Amino acid sequence: VRLLCIESTCDETAAAVVTDSLEVLGSVVASQNALHERFGGVVPEIASRAHVERILPVIDETLRQAGVTLADLDGVAVANQPGLVGSLLVGVCAAKALCVATGLPLIAINHLQAHIYACKIASGEEVFPCVGLIVSGGHSNLYRCDGPTDFTPLGGTIDDAAGEAFDKVGSLLGLPFPGGPAVSRAAANGDPKSIRFPRPLLDDNTRLAFSFSGLKTAVRYEIAGPGGDPATVELSEQRVADIAASFQEAVVECLVGKAEMALRQTGFNTLCVGGGVAANGRLREGLEASAARHGRRLYIPPMSLCTDNAVMGAIAIERFKEGKFESLEMDVYPGLQRIG
């Protein structure tokens, strides 16, 4: 079985050809970082338009890499939830058009389930059941994952996502976009204990919830004081490094603490992590230390499978095997309501 998987939920235009043994025959990711950089965040309408320009070249290049034509495929899979509505529509329309042209079946991908499935693809091991932690620019969620497509939400952020906080702190520190990688690079030369930022909700053992917007404000006050403008403050390289390291430490402690709580609550022994923030080295260290301490299994995919990509769309193989195909009426679901 060979599936073409398409991903366009946010600001990466991506396609991959995968097999039922989870072999990757071809994979292309066209990032839009350069387009959104000067706005300090993803601009939805710019993202949709860029997807329109890139989707066909990305699919063509993926098929070429894989050495296959449309006639060699057994299905077309596309992420139709959750994400930016305009972005989702581009991938879904492209997938439907290919299905109309070829008669191939259409398969839906839940983008968040795909992020966790990346752990199975990368490790080649059975990772379910597990607790799923998704930390990206748009999400900071914890799930009980009884199977690849059987997720129950346990909790998540009540305001900003972790990646969003990294991006905003990066911009407060005058670092390039996206802030996540830049903040973690700066943090490498800083002292994580130099500033004691708050760990919001970490001590609240009644809720599996995160809150990062207050932490972001604390960073702002640390730089410029209440009411001050961070853009007018000149920070030394060491000060940037210390703020970055201290902020990163606070985020990591919150994520590790709540992931541990979710593992205790479910009784599961395995944690699977997905999303761009999982590329963060300090977070990996924190999660590894916690897994070693409690004798638990931890799966974090390599960087290229943490940030948005279409290889993780191989989760569609599971639905293909069950014969779960969609009609050409299939809609997009921007919100989190349809996890199934």
Strand, helix or coil at 43?
coil
Contacts of residue 289, defined as CB under 8 A and 6 or more positions apart, other chains included, come to none
Q: Is 74 annotated as a binding residue?
A: no
Q: Which tokens go with 28?
A: 């292309």
Q: Minimum CB separation from Fe ion for residue 115, in Å?
A: 6
Interface with Mg ion, residue 164, by CB under 5 A? no
Q: Is 111 annotated as a binding residue?
A: yes
Burial of 65 per CB tally in 10 Å (0-12, 13-18, 19+): middle
Locus of tokens 């991959």 = 16
| Strand pairing category for 209-210 and 106-110 | unpaired
Choose the one of ligand ATP, Fe ion, Mg ion, none that binds residue 190, judging by a C-beta under 5 to 8 angstroms depending on kind: none
The one-character DSSP state at 135 is E
Residue among 136, 157, 171, 211 that touches Fe ion (CB under 5 A): 136
Of 116-175, binders to ligand ATP (CB under 6 A) are 136-139, 163, 166-167
Residue among 308, 313, 317, 326 that touches Mg ion (CB under 5 A): 308
Of 219-278, binders to ligand ATP (CB under 6 A) are 275-277
Interface with ligand ATP, residue 32, by CB under 6 A? no
Give the full edge-to-edge strand order of the sheet including 150-157: 209-210, 150-157, 140-147, 130-135, 270-274, 297-299
Interface with ligand ATP, residue 75, by CB under 6 A? no
Q: How far apart are CA 129 and CA 147, in angstroms?
A: 6
Q: Is 257 within 8 Å of 118 (Cβ atoms)?
A: no
Q: Minimum CB separation from Mg ion for residue 106, in Å?
A: 24
**Which region, judged by CB under 5 A, interacts with Mg ion, from 52-60, 239-247, 260-268, 302-310?**
302-310
Burial of 103 per CB tally in 10 Å (0-12, 13-18, 19+): exposed
Interface with ligand ATP, residue 11, by CB under 6 A? yes
Residue among 83, 156, 200, 286 that touches ligand ATP (CB under 6 A): 83
Locus of tokens 């497509």 = 149
**Which region, judged by CB under 5 A, interacts with Mg ion, from 7-15, 51-59, 99-107, 222-230?**
7-15
Chain contacts with ligand ATP (rule: CB under 6 A): 9-11, 83, 136-139, 163, 166-167, 178-181, 184, 275-277, 279-280, 307-308
